[in-house]
A and B are shown apart, each in its own frame.
Chain A
């Protein structure tokens, strides 16, 4: 396991309130809605329309935390199964206990594991990769995001959905200065400025030869978002949310 120790201690402290939509993680709940909308619209009606009889997809959710996205995906009719992984035992314990609230979530499993340790993770003995790999708000917490991205992409046969925070002044003001210190929307220490990645850097990681040596990956959709207190999450084109194919 190779999680960053400071980051892990920080997320352990958040575990208790993870599933309270009116608690400190409220913004994350709202963000999860936006992630699902983004995934649905990227996959398109041929997959998401309940009247379509398409084959079901398998999902690997990297950095699943308390399981907000994992549960959401596991409930969709077009998802066969979800494997959520995270490096913080406390949040995985939360994810596992919350899963029991809905007995229908039998297609959802969690594993204590780092993105750097994906080698042995297989969807099944016959199929080593997943149809969808998600990695939301993970890269900015890692010491080597480029390598993590490469590993994540190696585990996907169709889609990688990911998001991270732009290293821009606007992002600094909203996520660290305002978010952590002035408005206390997220606890101090949640974010580390030097780890933020710009959309262009991310795009070059994805399309660059180190990761994409056979040029099989393309950027399907790129979208930015910002949280405006009193309004909620607002989306705009061309910034930090990402999906690749």
Chain B
């Protein structure tokens, strides 16, 4: 007797399959479900992490826990987009902080520029929010949570002309439009054969959550431009701040080896001491905590207290120290037939101006606008006709921001005397020109 196995292709059919349940992917699903034109589309999002399990009750479970180290700066433009799609009201607002001023100063010359949002229309420069807080807000909006499938992507291939994703739970999903919201190493981008341009900065970003000596009455974000890269001090509620310190990879490794007390001392040093002192401190043995604290403390004690600088750090949250390599990347295309890329899958930037997440939100807004137009025109949502308006809106704007970020970064990553003098003069002049500063803030928005 012969038995035949049916070799029928039995993939689940979806109109749109999003790979990656980070802020970009979840915003996309939430926005599509919130739009009258696109809500009828059958949408799913795949993520390898148990995001629903971890974040579904985050709001109730995390009232008093420490702030996580993945904190992002959300511009007013992104906030209004999140409001529009109904997610902002689900944010745990006690755990966010809107700052209305950004102070940037030159680590070599001390020249300053202050971006004050009060002379701009928006009222705030940006809002600091934990990555998980954004994700949980999106998961709890509409029926976004029901669209999440927890599984690893095993393979992406084309079946019957449609992108088909094979998951590690045995399920295959075939999509009319496959969206890569799957990060810098985007498997979706690789499937589509889309190449990227860019370079590594040979810098790492060191992040940590910090407790300050007292609550700063000003709501200000600070960035000190050091030749090793910017050191950013971003405010959170309850005398807490988050650190993003861009520096040489070997210095990042050195910082990560420090005991919490020594790390705390080094952050205070990084904000206040000059480069020669910092170079010396980095030459010490990272395990010799007492020596590092001693060398930092007496140096800081010789300085007059400057209350325009951020409040000193009292301690850091254990295990909140982490680092990641900094790179600039732009995909050569954001779309191909039946594929679209959003967020870090499409571009990566230096965290200097905190634009990473906001660029992703703008991608999502532009892609949703393109899909709404496509539905109103009765187009096949995966076709190039449908997708073409998306990169037209998003690509150049991102290219411009990546360029501005990169130039700012390069301008400040040198201690070459003539350039320091020039940039100091430039910043002093710029600081007096409210109009130009407002333009910069608006562009970042």
Contacts and interface: CB of A to CB of B under 8 A. Distances in A.
Interface of B is mostly: loop
A22 B377 CA distance: 18
Contact of B378 (A22, A49, A71, A101): A71
A51 B161 CA distance: 33
Interface in B166-224: 176
B383 interface: yes
Contacts of A32: 377, 385
A72 B377 contact: yes
Contacts of A29: 385
Instruction: Determine the main DSSP class of A at the interface with B.
Output: helix
B144 to A, nearest CB: 20
Contacts of B375: 75
A51 B380 contact: no
A101 B377 contact: no
Contact of B383 (A21, A36, A49): A21
Nearest to A72: B378
Nearest to A71: B378
Nearest to B379: A72
B40 interface: yes
Interface string A99-122: 001100000000000000000000
B376 interface: yes
B1 interface: no
Contacts of B379: 33, 72, 75
A118 B377 CA distance: 27
B384 A76 contact: no
Interface string A15-43: 00000011000000100110011001000
Interface residues of A, number: 21
Contact of B377 (A37, A49, A50): A37
Given A22-B384, A29-B385, A101-B161, A36 B377 contact: yes
Contacts of A76: 376, 378
Contacts of A21: 383-385, 388
B396 interface: no
A133 interface: no
Contacts of A22: 384
Given A33-B377, A76-B378, A50 B388 contact: no
B29 to A, nearest CB: 18
B384 A48 contact: no
A102 B376 contact: no
A33 B385 contact: yes
Interface of B: 36-37, 39-40, 161, 176, 375-380, 383-385, 388
5 contacts: A21-B385, A36-B378, A37-B377, A75-B379, A101-B380
